[in-house]
Amino acid sequence: MPNTPGLGLPNERHYSAGGAEGEGVVTDLVTGLEWQQGVPDESFTFTEAASYCAGLELGGEGGFRVPTRIELVSLLELSRAEPSIDVSAFPGTPGDWFWSSSTSAGDPTRAYHAYFYFGYPDLEDRTSALRVRCVRSPGGERPRATAYDRRADTARDPFTGLTWQRGTADTPLTQGDADEYCADLVLDGHDDFRLPTMPELETLVDESVRAPAIDRVTFPETPALPFWTASSWAGSSDLAWYVSFDYGAALYDLVSAPFQTRCVR
Going along the chain from its start, the domains and CATH numbers come out as 15-136 (3.10.100), 149-254 (no CATH)
Instruction: Check residue 146 and give its pLDDT.
Output: 62
Q: Which of the four pLDDT bands, split at 50, 70 and 90, describes residue 175?
A: very high
Whether pTM exceeds 0.75: yes
- As a whole number, the mean pLDDT across the chain is 94
Q: In DSSP terms, which residues pair with 226 in a beta bridge?
A: 244
pLDDT digits 0-9 by tens, 30-64: 999 999 999 999 999 999 999 999 999 998 899 99
| Number of C-beta neighbours around residue 92 at 10 A | 9
19 pLDDT more than 70: no
What confidence tier does 209 reach under pLDDT thresholds 50, 70, 90?
Answer: very high
Write down the pLDDT at residue 106. Answer: 83
> To the nearest 10°, the Cα dihedral for 187, 193, 196, 200?
-70
Statement: residue 204 has pLDDT above 80: yes
Q: What pLDDT does residue 37 have?
A: 97
